[in-house]
Homo-oligomer: A and B are copies of this chain.
Amino acid sequence: MATKHHGTPRERLALDTYIKLSRATAAVDARINRPLAEASLTTSQFGVLEAVWHLGPLTHGEIGRKLLKSSGNVTVVIDNLARRGLVQRESDAGDRRISRVALTATGTALLEAVFPAHVARVVDAFDSLDADELATLSTLLRRLGRAAAAAGNQPEPDRATGAHALTAVQTAVQEDTR
């Protein structure tokens, strides 16, 4: 196929791995999250619902750190969930800047209706790898993610609480960093 140019083997290896990482993630995400549309939920909305379901009422800031989203974004997603009556904002007695997000009965019901199938899809998405391979993959990804996160950037996850929301599924696994 005659690759035109580009440099060292190391560069090619890195670029190649990067492509596969991007593609695999895109494919897995699509497979896992697309079906959420049937419940009229986006990935982010599901993420918020799930985080609050597992952990109880959370502030915007906590949610943002868990899902790795900007504060402005959190406001929007919560607005959309609140508009549909799936969550509600509760103000904090002590600190009036804070507003905590809690599931409504409707929200709880919806999440519980959708969650089992979601987990099943996650399992399915990974069923091409056996337990050892999953463990290996997990280890490599953790190193990769850690290094990338450490290297300068970002909102900094949520190391403190040990619970990780992220793009859905999050809190189902309380451990990540261990």
Q: In the complex, what residue of chain B is closest to A164 when comparing beta carbons?
A: B19
Task: Flag A72-104 by CB within 8 Å of B: 1 or 0 each.
Answer: 000000000000000000000000000000000
Q: In the complex, what residue of chain B is closest to A47 when comparing beta carbons?
A: B22
Query: CB of A141 within 8 A of chain B?
Result: yes
Query: CB of A127 within 8 A of chain B?
Result: yes
Q: By the criterion CB–CB under 8 Å, are A142 and B20 in contact? A: yes
Query: CB of A40 within 8 A of chain B?
Result: no
Task: Flag A136-178 by CB within 8 Å of B: 1 or 0 each.
Answer: 1110111111111101111001000011101101101111101
Q: In the complex, what residue of chain B is closest to A151 when comparing beta carbons?
A: B31
Q: Which of B16, B54, B174 contacts A175 (CB 8 A)?
A: B16
Q: By the criterion CB–CB under 8 Å, are A152 and B31 in contact? A: yes
Which 6 A-B pairs have CB atoms at the shortest separation, nearest pair first? A24-B145, A27-B148, A128-B147, A20-B141, A3-B174, A24-B141
Residues of A within 8 A of B (CB): 1-4, 6-7, 10-32, 34, 54, 68, 119, 122-129, 131, 133-138, 140-149, 151-154, 157, 162-164, 166-167, 169-170, 172-176, 178
